[in-house]
């Protein structure tokens, strides 16, 4: 039975939970989920030549709408980079200025820097102010993440199902714990700059499903934090939750094929 | 038939791949000479480096190497992992490793274009972003080490073989070695998911690794791990795979030469 928590505690505490009550590692559910997805791919008519590619953003209409806005994209990228700094114990005082300077020095995000250059003076000032607010919420809500919990940021996954006819791509903003322990201990966190809505649960389930398929074992819990409102949802991962994630993909693939 | 083994990246599957690996073949002096002769027949004006990446990209030149958090993560993360002690945390080890690189620069030991030189030009925030990538890599190594159990040894350097008279260096990428009485199994970790040329890439690494070994003994099996995709591919250390790998490296050199000649013209 999955539980939806709306209690206020730091994200670190919520992700860790009570170590003594963690369930045994489940290594058997993944194979069944993979088979179900393979059936689903066959029914949807996707092939290796024309694969169905899904991302967590595919399940969120707010991101799809925001995709058109360079401003929202920029804000998301800066907040994700700020999260990496906070996890490292380096909270930026002026995230916009400090991160822009870092991106320029690293020379790897030329597209992002070009987008910043295209912003009007008003938009730059608004982005700077918004980033201060988002980073302040993040650093307050995250709490201290101990290095011994193995925190990894911006963890990418690409899971192929049915020989590559279905490709599930994902990026988890923060992952703590390990999938190799005898008890479930891997926790996933997605940070969004939007307020949490009905689609947030779908995204959380998607992260849990991709992690399960990738590692072969169930993660402990999946969480989502809004850096706009400070609201956080945490769900324990169970086989039922993953079944719902498969159903989400089924609904999406039916729509994608119909379109 | 040169098989490409395809398994999930789980402890059981990897243990099976290692345990059931057949004996590897050996490259002798004649093989080395034949390989060198093929490369010498493709003269080059500048030093040439061939590796699995070159083979996977059909010999086409990329944009050239530049340091970035992504290209620096393996160097820093691997050296940080090599510092592993009982109280080890990836974050502290990566910080220590980066501090050492910066200290070497301050003492004047870093040459232009080296990692230490590049790190010294970054500010605190940029360094922290580099640190995040390196921590991810070090923790990925830790995950794989746990998956492999106690018998695996971290490979702190890749294998290199200089082909005399051909201005060519062949590189074998490797991250872990599992050595047993019947020989060794080599593992390398890659990001993303395996592409269509992953098999030829593994064979190129297999032959480069055998060439870099003084007695020419090939690994029993060369395993490529793609943890982000949860997949493992492997090739056996047979003469057929070694030949295929060598052929692909020579083909890549041919394409490189053609591209350089076209560019020069």
- Mean pLDDT computed over B51-58: 93
**pLDDT bracket for residue A203 (50, 70, 90):** very high
pLDDT at A3: 57
* Per-residue confidence (pLDDT) for residue A158, from 0 to 100: 95
Contacts of B91 in chain A (CB under 8 A): 88, 147, 151
Tell me the pLDDT tens digit for each residue of A28-62: 999 999 999 999 888 887 788 888 899 988 877 65
pLDDT band at A221 (very low <50, low <70, confident <90, very high): very high
Look at B132 and A158 and tell me if their CB atoms are within 8 Å. no
Q: In the structure, what pLDDT confidence band is assigned to residue B65 with cuts at 50, 70 and 90? A: confident
Is B259 in CB contact (< 8 Å) with chain A? no
Residues of B in contact with A156 (CB under 8 A): 191-192, 228
- The secondary structure of A92-159 as a DSSP string is -SSHHHHHHHHHHHHT--HHHHHHHHHS-HHHHHHHHHHHHHHHHHHHHHH----GGG--EEEEEEEE
Burial of B108 (C-beta count, 10 Å sphere; 0-12/13-18/19+):
exposed
Q: Is the pLDDT of residue A66 over 70?
A: no
pLDDT-derived band at A64, boundaries 50, 70, 90: low
Q: How far is B29 from chain A (nearest CA, A)?
A: 41
| Residue B80 in this model has a pLDDT that exceeds 60 | yes
Q: What separation in angstroms does the CA of B101 have from each of A199, B80, B111, B131, B153?
A: 45, 12, 11, 13, 24
Q: Do A90 and B90 touch (CB under 8 A)?
A: no
Q: What are the C-alpha distances in Å from A203 to residues A31, A127, A210?
A: 21, 25, 11
Q: A143: left (phi > 0), else alpha (psi -120 to 50), else beta?
A: left
Give A186's DSSP letter.
-
Put simply, the answer to whether B143 touches A178 (Cβ < 8 Å) is: yes
Q: How far is A109 from A115, CA to CA, in rounded Å?
A: 10
What torsion do the CA atoms of B229, A48, B204, B72 make, to the nearest 10 degrees? -40
For residues B219-223, average pLDDT = 97
Rounded to a whole number, what is the distance in Å from the CA of B60 to chain A's nearest CA?
22
B126 with A106: Cβ contact below 8 A: yes
Residue A97: its pLDDT value, please?
Answer: 93
The upper half-sphere exposure of residue A198, i.e. CA atoms within 13 Å in the direction of its Cβ, equals 2
Q: A4-5 and A232-236 as β-strands: parallel, antiparallel, unpaired?
A: antiparallel
Res. B32: pLDDT tops 80: yes
Q: What's the whole-number mean pLDDT along residues B220-234?
A: 96
* Residue-wise pLDDT tens digits, B164-182: 888 999 999 999 999 988 8
What digits encode the pLDDT tens for the residues A111-162?
788 888 888 899 899 999 999 999 999 999 998 899 999 999 999 999 999 9
- When CB atoms are compared, the residue of A150, A158, A216 closest to B228 is A158
- A107/B69 Cβ within 8 A: no
Contact by Cβ (8 Å): A113, A103: yes
Nearest to B19 by CA among B202, B151, B209, B188: B151
Please give the ipTM for the structure prediction: 0.90
The mean pLDDT value for B107-119 works out to 93
Which of the 8 DSSP states describes residue B59? Answer: T
- Phi/psi for A93 (5° steps) reads -75, -40
DSSP B98-147: HHHHHHHHHTT-PPTTSHHHHHHTS-HHHHHHHHHHHHHHHHHHHHHHHH
Query: Strand ranges (DSSP E) for chain B?
Result: 5-8, 48-50, 152-154, 159-163, 168-172, 176-180, 183-189, 221-226, 231-236
Which residue among A88, A105, A179 sits closest to B126, beta carbon to beta carbon? Answer: A105
Q: B264: Cβ–Cβ under 8 A, 6 or more apart, which residues?
A: none
Of A102, A107, A150, nearest to B125 by CB-CB distance is A102
Residue B142 near chain A (CB below 8 Å) = yes
Residue A19's pLDDT band (cuts 50, 70, 90):
confident
Predicted local distance difference test score (pLDDT) of residue A119: 86
Taking each helix axis from N to C end, the angle separating B69-82 and B124-148, rounded to the nearest 10 degrees, works out to 50
First to last CA, chain A: 35
- The torsion of the CA quartet A170, A175, A177, A179, rounded to 10 degrees, works out to 0
Model pLDDT, residue A8: 65
Write down the mean pLDDT value for chain A.
88
Burial class of B109 by CB neighbour count within 10 A (0 to 12, 13 to 18, 19+): exposed
Are A154 and B132 a contacting pair at CB < 8 A?
A: yes
Is B85 touching A (CB cutoff 8 A)?
no
pTM for the predicted model, two decimal places: 0.92
* Banded model confidence at residue A197, pLDDT cuts 50, 70, 90: confident
Which of A88, A109, A139, A213 would best serve as a mutation to test chain B binding (most B beta carbons within 10 A)? A88
Task: Please judge whether B66 and A107 are an interchain contact, meaning their C-beta atoms are less than 8 angstroms apart.
Answer: yes
* CA distance linking residue B265 with residue B258, whole number of Å: 11
Smallest Cβ distance to A157: which of B143, B146, B228? B228
Quick one: which H or E segment has residue A191? strand A187-192
CB–CB of A153/A173 below 8 Å?
A: yes
Q: Give, as one character, the DSSP assignment of residue A19.
A: G
């Amino acid at each position: 039975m999955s539980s939806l928590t709306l209690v206020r505690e730091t994200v670190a505490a919520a992700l860790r939970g009570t170590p003594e009550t963690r369930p045994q590692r489940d290594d058997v559910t993944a194979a069944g989920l993979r088979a179900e997805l393979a059936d689903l791919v066959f029914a949807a008519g996707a092939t290796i030549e024309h694969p169905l590619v899904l991302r967590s953003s595919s399940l969120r209409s707010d991101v799809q709408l925001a995709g058109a806005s360079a401003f929202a994209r920029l804000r998301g990228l800066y907040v994700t980079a700020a999260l990496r700094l906070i996890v490292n114990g380096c909270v930026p005082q002026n995230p916009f200025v400090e991160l822009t300077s870092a991106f320029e020095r690293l020379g790897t995000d030329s597209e992002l820097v070009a987008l910043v250059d295209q912003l009007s003076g008003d938009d730059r000032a608004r982005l700077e102010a918004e980033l201060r607010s988002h980073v302040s919420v993040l650093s307050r809500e995250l709490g201290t993440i101990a290095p011994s919990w193995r925190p990894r940021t911006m963890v990418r996954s690409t899971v192929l199902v049915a020989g590559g006819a279905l490709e599930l791509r994902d990026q988890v903003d923060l992952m703590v714990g390990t999938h190799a322990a005898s008890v479930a201990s891997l926790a996933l966190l997605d940070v969004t700059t939007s307020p949490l809505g009905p689609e947030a649960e779908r995204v959380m389930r998607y992260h849990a499903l991709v992690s399960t398929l990738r590692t072969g074992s169930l993660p402990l819990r999946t969480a989502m934090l809004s850096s706009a409102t400070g609201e956080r949802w945490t769900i324990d991962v169970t086989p039922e939750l993953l079944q719902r994630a498969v159903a989400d993909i089924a609904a999406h693939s039916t729509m994608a094929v119909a379109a | 038939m040169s098989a490409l083994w395809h398994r999930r990246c789980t402890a059981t599957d990897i243990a099976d791949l290692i345990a059931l690996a057949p004996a590897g073949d050996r490259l002798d002096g004649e093989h080395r000479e034949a390989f060198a002769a093929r490369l010498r027949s493709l003269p080059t004006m500048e030093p040439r480096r061939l590796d699995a990446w070159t083979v996977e990209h059909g010999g086409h030149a990329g944009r050239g190497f530049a340091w970035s958090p992504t290209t620096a993560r393996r160097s820093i993360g691997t050296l940080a992992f090599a510092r592993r002690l009982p109280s080890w945390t990836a974050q502290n080890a990566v910080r220590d490793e980066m501090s050492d690189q910066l200290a070497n620069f301050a003492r004047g030991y870093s040459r232009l274009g080296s990692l230490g030189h590049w790190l010294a030009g970054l500010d605190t925030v940029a360094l922290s972003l580099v640190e995040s990538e390196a921590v991810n890599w070090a923790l990925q190594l830790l995950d794989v080490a746990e998956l492999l159990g106690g018998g695996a040894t971290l490979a702190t350097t890749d294998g290199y073989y200089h082909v005399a008279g051909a201005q060519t260096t062949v590189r074998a990428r490797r991250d872990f070695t599992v050595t047993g009485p019947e020989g060794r199994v080599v593992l390398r970790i890659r990001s993303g998911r395996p592409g269509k040329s992953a098999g030829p890439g593994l064979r190129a690494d297999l032959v480069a690794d055998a060439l870099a070994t003084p007695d020419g003994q090939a690994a029993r099996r060369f395993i490529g791990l793609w943890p982000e995709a949860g997949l493992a591919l492997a090739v056996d250390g047979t003469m057929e795979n070694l030949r295929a790998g060598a052929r692909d490296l020579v083909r890549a050199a041919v394409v490189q030469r053609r591209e350089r000649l076209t560019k020069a013209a």
